[in-house]
Amino acid sequence: MRITSGPNLNFLRMKKNLLLTIWLVAVAIITQAQLDLKYQLPPQEILDLADVKMPPSVNMNDKGDFAVLMYRNQFKTIAELSEQELRLGGLRINPVTNISSRERFTNKISVLDVNKSKEIEITGLPENPRLSNFSWSPDQEMMAFTNTTLKGVEFGF
């Protein structure tokens, strides 16, 4: 039996029109989502939170009168992330430097005289230092460390 008039025909036409309207709205929304948007930065307050400087790591001598303050960046640079990496038995090794590729480097050090509350910045470090492996000398007068370059690891004190 075919419906040619009456309330059932009106219901079917309304249903068909409603489905067509929903489909057109969906297509309109999808095409609006394809706009060519440029890269957008968040508000300055959010950028300031994301780029906050980290507090230094502290390494004190045994007497407690001097502390070495070691500053590092919060995130690795793109250059550091793109360095070659070998995966050997769960270890991540940089084949050029033969150290862990996940090593976090210090880029600035200073000495804090605890008794005088005076911070002394260390000068004479290499340009763009990547310092790690800090260790006090046996007499607690000097500190040794390594500087990682693109060609290998150097020793410093």
Annotated domain spans of the chain: 51-156
Model confidence pLDDT, tens digit, residues 128-144: 899 999 999 999 888 89
Q: How far apart are CA 62 and CA 139, in angstroms?
A: 9
Give the residue-averaged pLDDT of 34-61.
85
Q: What CA–CA distance (Å, rounded) separates 66 from 115?
A: 8
Task: Count other C-beta atoms under 10 Å from residue 133's C-beta.
Answer: 14
Query: 112-125: per-residue pLDDT in tens?
Result: 999 999 999 888 88
pLDDT score of 9? 64
**Rounded Cα distance, 124 and 157, in Å:** 11
Give the CB-side neighbour count of residue 103, counting CA atoms within 13 A.
Answer: 22
pLDDT at 40: 86
Residue 58 is predicted with a pLDDT of 94
In the chain, what percentage of residues exceed pLDDT 70?
90
Higher pLDDT, 157 or 26: 26
Residue 9 is encoded by which pair of tokens?
């025909």
Confidence at residue 71, expressed as pLDDT on a 0 to 100 scale: 93
pLDDT at 109 over 60: yes
Q: How far is CA 84 from CA 73, 89, 93, 149, in A?
A: 21, 16, 8, 14
pLDDT at position 69 is 94
